């Protein structure tokens, strides 16, 4: 950063990172032109670019350097809408006109975006989105605002507290409105790109050339500078509070507001852990606490606005404390850049756009929404001059209103102090309510947890009892099954024993029957043997008797009879056996349980008999 840049732009991050631009000369010769633009801010540069694109001869006069005022010193937020809230606009001009005005403001945002793309502007570092965060728990109000802005055609999202705190790790924040089509840029490099584009289209820009006076009379307006004069058919006054020396009446309608801006040294990875949103962030309706990440890991923050400009280094500690208050997790915050920029606010907080007299145009009073409204105003004024377009009349309800002078500044500064105090009180109350709600919620969660634990314990006890009952039932069933199995086994054993007993009895019966049959056979055999023996004995007796000498000894034996005949002697009559010598069946068959053992006969049995006894 050279001495000229430091003097023109202050010790700012923008001056340290601006693109190379040529040093433009002072106006030193008189010129006759179509249009003279006074003011090298964004509104004047936009008007000069559009007029030169239409083929007009244009001269732009800047008392200092291009964008050395608020245009090159602000936080770079390109936002839809105006400094005046939508509800205030509706109350003043009605819903339909408010919607038309919002469409014009959005057109200003689109113009900036399109210019960056069409001119291939470098060093802009555009970041999409603007998150307007609430430090109080006003969800119902946020919902109403979102609905209103949606009706006006603004592309927005309402974010709940959880979503906000997921990207902005701060307990100070609650709900938010996300403006999807907003963006943040490097305003100084954007202004330098506009100047270069206007010069390519034929405009001539003179720096360090203040306009000392204007003679608006006649067709050709006369503008006097320190070293030369201009004559122009049209004059565009695109100044801020700095035009007080040229047109005091216009300057008196502007209230100077000076916010202070700092850019930290590199914060490293801790910045990414605290802030995950890489767009613009605002957490106040005032010109306080507007910040964004720049340079990868630096934080740029503006705030603590005053109505009298002071040394910006006086606010480094205060602004650093504001950062720590919002993000206490950020440690070792050092500040590399600190500067200020003075804005011009109107009483109604709307831009002053219109024709002051024949051929004399005004574009001023853009306040805290300058990047979009300057683009809008430059286009409206250029179209009115080139095509006699009357769209600028949408701003006719917002007249030039005296800002109150010193008293107005005092009143505004008092308002800032009161509003900051009230916001702090409301924030503390909101935080206290959140802590109370959190404590109540924690207590309720503990109660619910205890109740859940109790229910789980009861369920576990019931489950245990059920398990015990089930186990008891299982054991009882197992015991019963075992008992029944044992009974079955015992029954089977008894049945087996019974079967064995019955088999044994059957076997015994069969054995006894066999023995009985054997005894009967033996008895019968014995009877037959006895009978045979008796027969044999008798035969023997008879034989003996026959052989014994008898008087009839001379009777020949049968064998001695002639074979052919001879009459045999008559047989001796057979003596019947004595009944006392016979054995009755009762005497032969023994009792069942007293088996009779028949002694084996000593007489040799015949072979057929022995065969029968075996079978």
More confident residue, 408 or 515: 408
DSSP 337: E
- Comparing 1-10, 474-483, 576-585, which segment has the lowest mean pLDDT? 576-585
Q: Which pLDDT band, with edges at 50, 70 and 90, does 572 fall under?
A: very low
> DSSP H helical segments within 229-357, as ranges?
248-251, 269-274, 316-326
DSSP 137: -
SS (H, E, C) 548-614: CCCCCCCCCCHHHCCCCCCCCCCCCCCCCCCHHHCCCHHHHCCCCCCCCCCCCCCCCCCHHHHHHHH
Q: At 535, is the secondary structure helix, strand, or coil?
A: helix
CA distances from 325 to 29, 63, 161, 262, 322 (A): 55, 40, 18, 16, 5
Q: Is the pLDDT of residue 542 over 90?
A: no
Q: Is the pLDDT of residue 368 over 60?
A: yes
Question: pLDDT tens digits, residue range 124-160?
Answer: 999 999 999 999 998 899 999 999 999 999 999 999 9
pLDDT for residue 579: 52
Q: Is residue 27 a contact partner of residue 357, using CB atoms and an 8 Å limit?
A: no
| Euclidean distance between CA atoms 93 and 348, whole angstroms | 12
SS (H, E, C) 46-95: HHHHHHHHCCCCEEEECCCCCCCCHHHCCCCEECCCCCCCHHHHHHHHCH
pLDDT for residue 582: 53
Q: Which pLDDT band, with edges at 50, 70 and 90, does 435 fall under?
A: confident
Q: Is residue 262 a contact partner of residue 337, using CB atoms and an 8 Å limit?
A: yes
> DSSP H helical segments within 201-299, as ranges?
248-251, 269-274
Own/partner pairs for 417-422, CB < 8 Å, 24+ apart? 419/285, 419/286, 420/286, 420/288
pLDDT for residue 614: 60
Q: Mean pLDDT, to the nearest integer, of 188-203? A: 96
| Euclidean distance between CA atoms 58 and 467, whole angstroms | 95
Q: What tokens were used for 420?
A: 């900051």
Question: pLDDT tens digits, residue range 55-112?
Answer: 999 999 999 999 999 999 999 999 999 999 999 999 999 999 999 999 999 999 999 9
For the chain, first and last CA: distance in Å?
143
pLDDT for residue 564: 47
Question: pLDDT tens digits, residue range 287-323?
Answer: 788 999 999 999 999 999 999 999 999 999 999 999 9
Q: Mean pLDDT, to the nearest integer, of 220-226? A: 95
| Euclidean distance between CA atoms 35 and 232, whole angstroms | 5
pLDDT for residue 555: 45
Q: What tokens were used for 74?
A: 């602000």
Q: Mean pLDDT, to the nearest integer, of 447-454? A: 88
Question: pLDDT tens digits, residue range 166-177?
Answer: 999 999 999 999
Asked whether the CA dihedral 375, 379, 385, 389 is positive or negative, the reply is negative
Q: Mean pLDDT, to the nearest integer, of 481-489? A: 83
Q: Per DSSP, what are the bridge partners of residue 61?
A: 38, 206
Angle between helical axes of 42-53 and 187-200 (0-180°, round to 10) = 20
- Domain covering 127-183+256-345: architecture: 2-Layer Sandwich (3.30)
pLDDT for residue 439: 87
| Euclidean distance between CA atoms 14 and 186, whole angstroms | 7
DSSP one-letter string for 362-392: EEE--TT-HHHHHHHHHHHHHHHHHH---GG
Q: Is the pLDDT of residue 384 over 70?
A: yes
Q: What tokens were used for 489?
A: 């086994």
More confident residue, 196 or 521: 196
pLDDT for residue 496: 81
| Euclidean distance between CA atoms 354 and 373, whole angstroms | 13
pLDDT for residue 560: 45
Q: Mean pLDDT, to the nearest integer, of 240-247? A: 86
Name the nearest CA neighbour of 362 among 257, 479, 243.
243
Own/partner pairs for 274-277, CB < 8 Å, 24+ apart? 274/168, 274/169, 274/170, 274/327, 274/329, 274/330, 275/167, 275/168, 275/169, 275/299, 275/327, 276/166, 276/167, 276/168, 276/169, 277/129, 277/131, 277/167, 277/168
At 235, which helix (H) or strand (E)?
Answer: strand 229-237
Q: At 482, is the secondary structure helix, strand, or coil?
A: helix
> DSSP H helical segments within 119-221, as ranges?
139-151, 161-167, 187-200
pLDDT for residue 581: 53
Q: Is residue 372 a contact partner of residue 105, using CB atoms and an 8 Å limit?
A: yes
Q: Mean pLDDT, to the nearest integer, of 4-19? A: 91
- The predicted model scores a pTM of 0.74
Give the count of beta carbons closer than 10 Å to the beta carbon of residue 231. 16
According to CATH, the superfamily of the domain at 1-116+185-254+348-402 is FAD/NAD(P)-binding domain (3.50.50.60)
Give backbone dihedrals phi and psi of 471, rounded to 5 degrees, phi first.
Answer: -65, -40
pLDDT for residue 613: 59
| Euclidean distance between CA atoms 82 and 149, whole angstroms | 12
Question: pLDDT tens digits, residue range 343-358?
Answer: 999 999 999 999 999 9
Mean pLDDT estimate for the chain: 87
Q: Is residue 374 a contact partner of residue 41, using CB atoms and an 8 Å limit?
A: yes
| Euclidean distance between CA atoms 218 and 233, whole angstroms | 9
Q: Is the pLDDT of residue 588 over 70?
A: no
């Amino acid at each position: 950063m050279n001495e000229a840049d430091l003097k023109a732009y202050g010790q700012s991050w923008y001056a340290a990172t601006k693109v190379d631009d040529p040093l433009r000369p002072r106006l030193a010769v008189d010129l006759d032109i179509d249009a003279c633009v006074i003011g090298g801010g964004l509104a004047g540069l936009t008007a000069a670019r559009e007029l030169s694109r239409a083929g007009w001869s244009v001269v732009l006069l800047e008392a200092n350097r291009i964008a050395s005022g608020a245009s090159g010193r602000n936080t770079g937020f390109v936002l839809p809408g105006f400094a005046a809230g939508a509800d205030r606009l509706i109350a003043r001009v009605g819903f339909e006109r408010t919607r038309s005005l919002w469409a014009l403001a959005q057109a200003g945002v689109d113009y900036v975006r399109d210019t960056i793309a069409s001119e291939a502007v470098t060093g802009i570092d555009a970041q999409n989105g603007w998150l307007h965060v609430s430090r109080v728990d006003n969800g119902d109000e946020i919902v109403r605002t979102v609905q209103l802005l949606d009706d006006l055609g603004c592309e927005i999202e309402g974010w709940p507290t959880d979503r906000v705190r997921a990207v902005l790790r701060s307990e100070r924040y609650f709900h938010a409105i996300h403006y999807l089509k907003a963006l943040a840029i490097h305003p100084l490099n954007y202004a330098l790109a506009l100047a270069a584009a206007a010069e390519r289209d034929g405009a001539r820009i003179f720096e360090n050339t203040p306009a000392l006076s204007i003679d608006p009379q006649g067709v050709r307006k006369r503008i006097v500078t320190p070293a030369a004069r201009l004559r122009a058919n049209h004059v565009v006054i695109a100044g801020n509070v700095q035009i007080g020396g040229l047109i005091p009446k216009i300057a008196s309608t502007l209230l100077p507001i000076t916010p202070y801006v700092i850019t930290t040294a590199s914060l490293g990875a801790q910045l990414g852990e605290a802030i995950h949103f890489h767009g613009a962030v605002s957490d106040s309706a005032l010109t306080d606490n507007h910040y964004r990440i720049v340079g990868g890991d630096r934080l740029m923050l503006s705030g603590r606005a005053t109505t009298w400009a002071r040394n910006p280094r006086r606010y480094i500690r205060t602004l650093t404390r504001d950062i720590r208050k919002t993000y206490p997790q950020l440690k070792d915050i050092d500040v590399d850049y600190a500067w200020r920029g003075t804005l011009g606010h109107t009483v109604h907080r709307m831009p002053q756009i219109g024709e002051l007299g024949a051929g004399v145009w005004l574009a001023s009073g853009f306040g805290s929404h300058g990047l979009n409204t300057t683009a809008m105003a430059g286009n409206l004024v250029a179209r009115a001059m080139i095509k006699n377009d009357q769209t600028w009349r949408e701003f006719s309800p917002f007249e030039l209103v005296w800002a109150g002078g010193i008293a107005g500044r005092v009143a505004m500064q008092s308002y800032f102090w009161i509003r900051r105090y009230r916001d702090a009180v409301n924030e503390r109350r909101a935080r206290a309510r959140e802590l109370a709600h959190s404590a109540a919620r924690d207590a309720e969660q503990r109660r619910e947890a205890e109740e859940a634990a109790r229910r789980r314990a009861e369920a576990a006890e019931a489950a245990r009892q059920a398990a015990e009952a089930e186990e008891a039932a299982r054991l009882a069933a197992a015991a019963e099954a075992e008992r029944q199995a044992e009974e079955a086994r015992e029954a089977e054993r008894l049945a087996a024993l019974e079967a064995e007993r019955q088999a044994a009895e059957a076997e015994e019966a069969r054995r006894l029957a066999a023995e009985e049959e054997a005894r009967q056979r033996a008895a019968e055999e014995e009877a037959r043997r006895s009978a045979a023996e008796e027969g044999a004995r008798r035969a023997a007796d008879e034989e003996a008797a026959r052989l014994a000498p008898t008087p009839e000894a001379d009777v020949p034996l049968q064998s001695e009879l002639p074979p052919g005949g001879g009459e045999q002697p008559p047989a001796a009559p057979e003596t019947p056996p004595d009944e006392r010598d016979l054995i009755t069946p009762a005497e032969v068959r023994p009792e069942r349980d007293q088996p009779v053992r028949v002694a084996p006969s000593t007489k040799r049995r015949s072979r057929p008999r022995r065969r029968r006894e075996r079978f």
